[in-house]
Structure 1
Amino acid sequence: MGKFIGKCLIVVLVLFIGVFIGMEKAHQGMQNMKGYEEPSLPSPVSIHEGEDGQIEAEVLGSEIQHADQLSKKKEDLEKIGTFNIFSSMGKALASFVREATDALIQFFLKLFSS
């Protein structure tokens, strides 16, 4: 089962990369067909070095965020402490089962100790 999942993930990754390569080839074909480079037709995937020396990447016009920005967003979400109804229902059910089990055990202990 593990080998199958691994193979599937590899195939999905290869196909995902193939999509980006195909988009870049289509972009080059559009430029060749027109005969000139049009600035209003940006490249679908672009990688360049920023002013601070870090490598920046854009996919379809949206910049890929750095890991430090993602960790900052994760911290912000944790600070917000969003309410999850399923989590609260699970906690309530767990406390109910725990209390019911404790009461049942106490009942049987009193019943058999007498």
Structure 2
Amino acid sequence: MSRMKRFMFKSILLVSVLFVGVLIGMQKANDGIKDMKGYDEEGMGPPLTISEDEAGNIEASLLGQEMGSTSISEKKKKLEEMKSFNFFSEIGKTVAGIMKGLTEKTVEFVSSLL
């Protein structure tokens, strides 16, 4: 059991380090673009900003676009209203149903032999 805990700890630690590395890389790339193109500080902001207002609400912006709980819920509502048909999702559901049926029949057949 301790091997599993060590493995999970190492995996989570590795993913965390890689995520921080990606964020640092985005910041370095942003600084390099500013230096190369000669943008001033007001022209182009950092790729990820997190701030807290007076009421205690946390606001985040990714690449200049506001990411708040209201925008996420609005997008979710819009997707539910669209009720779009996803071709690949339907194919996946069909293949999963076929595989489930084949597996059940195979298990029934093998159990009837025993």
* TM-score (normalizing by structure 2): 0.48
Structure with larger Rg: 1
